[in-house]
Amino acid sequence: MKAKGTDAAAFLKRAVELGAKDAKLIPTSRVFTGEWVRLKCQFGCGAYASSRNCPPYSPTPDRTRRILDEYRHAILVHGDGTTGIREIVVKLEREVFLAGCHKAFAYACGPCSLCKECNLEGACRHEDDSRPAMEACGIDVFATARAAGLPIEVVTSHDCAQNYYGLVLVE
């Protein structure tokens, strides 16, 4: 994957410079989706239906799979929560786009917190920085991270280390 002389290694390095713990280039065929993932949002997340980036407003798993299939590569960005994954992937998406990859698109993690209350009836107030969460779109973050050799475990208490992931589609 090359864009105007910039190779994937430069994008991976840039993700780390922006605050990620790690970043890996993966084939989109190794980004896993499932209908069950959105059930975890609907039955278990207090942010369900509170943001256009969450279900039922976010793309369905079927639509997400079709979108993923329009790309060959993605950058999986790993963080530990000290730096916001949303900010990292949005900045990286823009840099990848400006490097000539016109289809670049980012997925964040977790509910959007850019507004105190989402404008569900009108335009997004933060369309430049707002991106749907991977899990809200049906991406199985656990299977995707594990397939990439990156750490992720079920968090069983507040003392457990957490791993956060974002994704930037690149073509």
Q: How far is CA 76 from CA 31, 49, 120, 124, 126, in A?
A: 9, 26, 29, 25, 23
CB atoms within 10 A of CB 94: 15
Total structural domains within the chain:
1
Per mean pLDDT, which range of 48-52, 59-63, 135-139 is the poorest? Answer: 48-52
So what's the pLDDT on residue 108?
Answer: 93
For range 37-42, the mean pLDDT: 90
Structural domain harbouring 114: 2-170
If DSSP codes are grouped into helix, strand and coil, which group holds residue 90? Answer: helix
Whole-number average pLDDT of the chain: 89
Q: How far is CA 66 from CA 32, 62, 71, 138, 151, in A?
A: 12, 6, 9, 12, 27
pLDDT at 111 over 80: no
So what's the pLDDT on residue 130?
Answer: 73
HSE-CB for 113 with a 13 A CA cutoff: 8
pLDDT at 134 over 80: yes
